[in-house]
A and B are shown apart, each in its own frame.
Chain A
Amino acid sequence: MARSDVQLMLDVKAGDDSSFEFLLQKYRSPLVNFLGRMVRDRAQAEDLAQEVFLRVYRARKLYTPSAKFTTWLFRIATNLALNSVRDSRYQKMSVSLDAPAHDEDSAPMELPAPEMRIDEHIMERDRNEFIRRAIWSLPEKQRAAVLLHKYEEMDYEQIAKILECSESALKSLLFRAYESLRVQLAPLVTRPATPMARQAGERRPS
């Protein structure tokens, strides 16, 4: 019988490092995906995801199963991401004018699928970039709420615990976030997605 996440974590607490390996395998993709969408830099997202696992490991001796494991895990991830976004914003403000040009907003290069025509690929890339920028343009907390709701498919109670707010505050936060996205993505919502984009969307973790 498969052990629950809480049981795995309790086993880690008892000194079973192989249970930590299970948790690493299970949550590395969702965490990197979440953090990759929260912060703009992919390498930074990976560093943060590693930091999350490190903190989980460090806290193993003090772990008490008071909430769902994913709530605890994503609360650590969200707090790290929010701090990182704020820190990088301050760094950006203090960057010298004679610092070398550096496009921080640029997304990592996406290679076209072999069966895709180059013009389709460009359209696809532009479309993805447009969506990414729309998400990044949201205030940090709204962005986290949308990512947890839309992509991690968490319920309101869990998201509210992660963001440390009430459920009614979360409702309002999500409404404002989707309202902003509705306005920003208006040029896209009328255009149908390319088949590859649809497949990419279907690959997202459930």
Chain B
Amino acid sequence: MKCENVANELILYLDNRSKLADRQEIEQHLAVCAACRARAEEFRKVWMTLDDLPVVEPSFGFDARVRQRIAAEPQRKWFGWFVPQPRLAFSAALLIALCVWLAKMPANRIGTGVSSTLQQEDFSAIQNLGVLENYDVVTKMDALSQLVPDTGDQPSGTDQDTRGGRDNGGV
């Protein structure tokens, strides 16, 4: 056993609480290491010196003061279980306040109300667009009837654009 290991186990050894194997190793080390032996001896002397410290006794009236303090403790009534803890009461109050606040909020500021308002605004804007005012004229043009109807065989422009984009990206 090395000196630092002995140092870690020394208190246990001096206490007679170390394991038998450790004890034998420590004793072997102490037999050959003068520094550790001196330290162990000094620790023993320190313990004996600490024994000299007088005991601090309770003063007269100590018990009476404890009893007084206990008697001054507020007694819990039979309905004591019903009285909420401060933290619990605070949390409950906070939760109620949050519910009231949410309930009092205008309906159009919550979730679906907002999206329906937006849809209505979009619709009126589209209705007022100049191009759409001529929608009937545009759809009844003769030139449009000569166009080949889309059979679905050809890939759509969007797909082509996407592929082209990918190819460009690959280069």
Q: A-side interface residues toward B, CB under 8 Å?
A: 24-25, 28-29, 32-33, 35-37, 42, 45-46, 49-50, 53-54, 57-58, 110, 127-128, 131-132, 135, 146, 149-151, 155-156, 171-172, 174-175, 178, 181-182, 185-186, 188-190, 193, 197-198, 200-205
Contact = CB atoms under 8 A, between A and B. Distances in A.
Interface residues of B, number: 32
B55 A200 contact: yes
A29 B54 contact: no
Contact of B42 (A45, A156, A189, A197): A189
Contacts of A146: 50
Interface in B36-81: 39, 42-43, 45-59, 62-63, 65-66, 69-70, 73
Interface stretch (B7-15, B26-34, B108-116, B147-155): B7-15
Contact of A197 (B11, B12, B52, B66): B52
A150 B14 CA distance: 12
B50 A150 contact: yes
B52 A24 contact: no
B17 interface: yes
Main secondary structure of the interface of A (DSSP, over half): helix
Contacts of B70: 53-54, 57
Given A24-B66, A175-B11, A135 B53 contact: yes
Given A46-B62, A57-B70, A171-B8, A36 B42 contact: no
Query: Which A-B residue pairs are the 5 nearest by beta carbons?
Result: A36-B56, A201-B51, A189-B45, A197-B52, A32-B58
A99 to B, nearest CB: 27
Contact of B55 (A131, A189, A205): A205
Given A50-B62, A57-B70, A156-B17, 9 more contacts: A25-B63, A49-B58, A131-B52, A146-B50, A155-B17, A174-B11, A175-B11, A197-B54, A205-B55
B1 to A, nearest CB: 15
A102 B70 CA distance: 32
A75 to B, nearest CB: 19
Contact of B49 (A32, A33, A42, A131): A131
Contacts of A50: 62, 65-66, 69
B53 to A, nearest CB: 5
A52 to B, nearest CB: 9
Given A50-B69, A54-B66, A201 B11 contact: no
Contact of B53 (A24, A45, A131, A156): A131
Contacts of B56: 32-33, 35-37, 42, 45
